[in-house]
Structure 1
Amino acid sequence: MPSATRQPQRDLPLDESRAVMRGNFGGKSGKEYHDGWEAMWQAGNFLPWDRMVPSPALADTLNNHSQVIGTSKLVLPDGTTRRKRALVPGCGRGVDVMLLQAYGYDVVGLEYSGTAVEACKTYARETENEELYKARDEKVGKGSKIYVQGDFYANDWLERAGLGEYGKEGVFELIYDYTFFCAMHPSMRPAWAKRMPTLLASDPQANLICLEFPTNKPAESGGPPFSSPPKAYMEHLSHPGENVPYNDKGEVRVQPLAESGPGALERVGHWQPANTHQIGKDAEGKVNDNISVWRHR
């Protein structure tokens, strides 16, 4: 029998779920906003993002789109190779960290919530020998993983993760963002877009992979999760740190004639995954989520 930590999270009716999230985060910002996530993890009775299994969209990307993202092997200028370093910010229970590890990446799972980090460690102890997390290629083997508590926008967690001197930039050859961009109030998105290019290696083998979700949620319904259509990622990652305009409904306004800003990332792939979590599908089971892949220009 699975332990209590392995039980899938309950889903509340949509209106009730939105009310709970607004109650936790409405009107909050800064540290108070971040602390709302810790409070939810401590309560443990409503974690709607916690599916207990890795993202099917990430698995599809790793399995079927290597022509875009490559593999876990990084080829260095001298011809030698090493494992790519991967980051999953807002990693939750660490399920996607463990999937990337199974594909051969050396992975850092980052969480603001210390309670979530402990949940990651518990889940890993219970599941790391299960078939789901075995090495996908015996010749490649499994990579490493480490879970760290920290603020995505600070640098101290890089040191705790053992990734060189404090403040080192361009550390990761793969970053996977799922329920991270959508968890932040749109006013926080410029900082997210400015931070991502500093963490992503400039190597052409390095990719930021975003699972765009929710793509069809009305922006005026608020969040988290906040409406995150493809144009929101495009506008922010094309103009890192800039105050991208939104209309009075909370929808991002496209600026087709605006030049890309300094540090902008380029979208090199965009598709609907073959599968995704049920919450990313419509009533008929059609996938609404998208995968976008970004690199330094």
Structure 2
Amino acid sequence: MSTPTPDVRTQLVSHFSTATGSTAHGQKWDELYQANFLPWDKGFPSPALVDLLSSPPPSTNPAYPNLLPSPSSATGKRKKALVPGCGKGYDVLLLAAHGYDAYGLEISANALKEAKKVEGEKGNEEVYSTRKGVERGAVTWVVGDFFEDGFLRDVLGEAEQGKFDLIYDYTFLSALPPVMRSAWSRRFNELLAPEGRLICLEFPTYKPASTGGPPWALPPKIYMAHLPRPGEELSYGEDGELLEEKIGEPSRNGLVRIAHWQPERTHEIGYDADGKVTDWISAWAHPQV
């Protein structure tokens, strides 16, 4: 979601003020989709993701030579990509256009009604066209709770073991209050395949933590604190700032940041007043055994 104007921000903060836990938050998001109050919706996929999929930068980490998994395995089996909190699904359609079997996960049934409309009305737009030699992947819309296993059994079945080769987070974490970040980090650790990649488009990096959310402030240090320590409760001050001095060593099974850079393009809200990009992209993987 984009950073709203002060009036819209006040409405959002008030709307979520009584929500606790993923179920309550999900109901609040569903109400916004039902009311068509969607100030964060831009109507097209993230330019940063468009560029990353079209021309991924070379890895500078020899232990992890590929920032993105190939859309298919050596046996021809298509890789699976997950977009939690996918909203109207623009990024899901983009991933499918690049050859992944793409799963758009939403706790809001009303959001996925809109996503299916977008697929039908905009799915043939140029931004969703496939490259030469790439076969379009399947698109699956899933109503479910990211923090629960029910959607995995319903969609993937027991044989798939609930693992995804590529997971993309943009505005999903910023929609969650800080108290849910430990569960967020644990869940990504569980859902990412052994050789998979988690891509985070880090936003908003510039706003003070004291302003609250959604969207909640997410400077890169938040990702660096939580993802290497899956499920660990980290301390925050009364002003919402992460208490970095209280952070311990990373977990042995925590995710490893293998790349970090600023995209050349992003959504308009990711630029400052001088036209400089404020978003960052981070790529994550399981540690090498």
TM score, norm. by length of structure 1: 0.89
Distance in 1 separating the partners of 2:190 and 2:68: 21
Corresponding residue for 1:194? 186
- Residues 79-121 of structure 1: per-residue CA shift (max 9 Å, x gap): 4232221000000000000011111111000000000111111
Corresponding residue for 1:15? 6
Q: What is the number of residues matched between the two proteins?
A: 279
CA shift in 2, pair 1:71/1:261, >3 Å: closer
Quote how far apart the aligned CAs of 1:53 are. 0.2
- Residues 53-90 of structure 1: per-residue CA shift (max 9 Å, x gap): 00011112112325342353344xxx423222100000
Distance in 2 separating the partners of 1:72 and 1:94: 21
Residue 220 of structure 1 aligns to a residue whose secondary structure is: helix
Distance in 1 separating the partners of 2:280 and 2:149: 30
Residue 275 of structure 1 aligns to a residue whose secondary structure is: coil
Q: Is the 8 A contact 1:159 1:166 kept in 2?
A: no
CA shift in 2, pair 1:20/1:98, >3 Å: same
Corresponding residue for 2:158? 165
Q: Is the 8 A contact 1:235 1:255 kept in 2?
A: no
CA shift in 2, pair 1:118/1:178, >3 Å: same
1:23-42 pair list within 5 angstroms = 23-30=14-21, 31-42=23-34
Residue 109 of structure 1 aligns to a residue whose secondary structure is: strand
Q: What is the identity percentage for the equivalent residue pairs of Structure 1 and Structure 2?
A: 46
Distance in 1 separating the partners of 2:4 and 2:104: 30
Distance in 1 separating the partners of 2:149 and 2:4: 39
Residue 127 of structure 2 aligns to a residue whose secondary structure is: helix
Q: Is the 8 A contact 2:83 2:169 kept in 1?
A: yes
Q: Is the 8 A contact 2:3 2:204 kept in 1?
A: no
Corresponding residue for 1:61? 52
Q: Is the 8 A contact 1:246 1:253 kept in 2?
A: yes
Distance in 2 separating the partners of 1:159 and 1:12: 35
- Residues 183-231 of structure 1: per-residue CA shift (max 9 Å, x gap): 000000000000001100011xx11000100001110000000000100
CA shift in 2, pair 1:19/1:138, >3 Å: same
Highest RCO, 1 vs 2 (Cα 8 Å, sep ≥ 6)? 2
Quote how far apart the aligned CAs of 1:47 are. 0.8
1:1-297 pair list within 5 angstroms = 14-30=5-21, 31-44=23-36, 46-65=37-56, 67-68=58-59, 69-75=67-73, 79-135=74-130, 137-161=131-155, 163-165=156-158, 168-169=161-162, 171-203=163-195, 206-255=196-245, 258-297=248-287
Quote how far apart the aligned CAs of 1:43 are. 0.2
Q: Is the 8 A contact 1:156 1:167 kept in 2?
A: no
Q: Is the 8 A contact 1:89 1:177 kept in 2?
A: yes
Residue 194 of structure 2 aligns to a residue whose secondary structure is: coil
CA shift in 2, pair 1:166/1:150, >3 Å: farther
Q: Is the 8 A contact 1:219 1:249 kept in 2?
A: yes
Distance in 2 separating the partners of 1:160 and 1:63: 31
Residue 58 of structure 2 aligns to a residue whose secondary structure is: helix
Q: Is the 8 A contact 2:13 2:214 kept in 1?
A: yes
Query: What letter is aligned with 1:250?
Result: G
Please tell me the root mean square deviation across aligned C-alpha atoms, in Å.
Answer: 2.0
CA shift in 2, pair 1:13/1:91, >3 Å: closer
Query: What letter is aligned with 1:20?
Result: Q
Q: Is the 8 A contact 2:4 2:40 kept in 1?
A: no
Residue 209 of structure 1 aligns to a residue whose secondary structure is: strand
Query: What letter is aligned with 1:230?
Result: P
Distance in 1 separating the partners of 2:77 and 2:91: 21
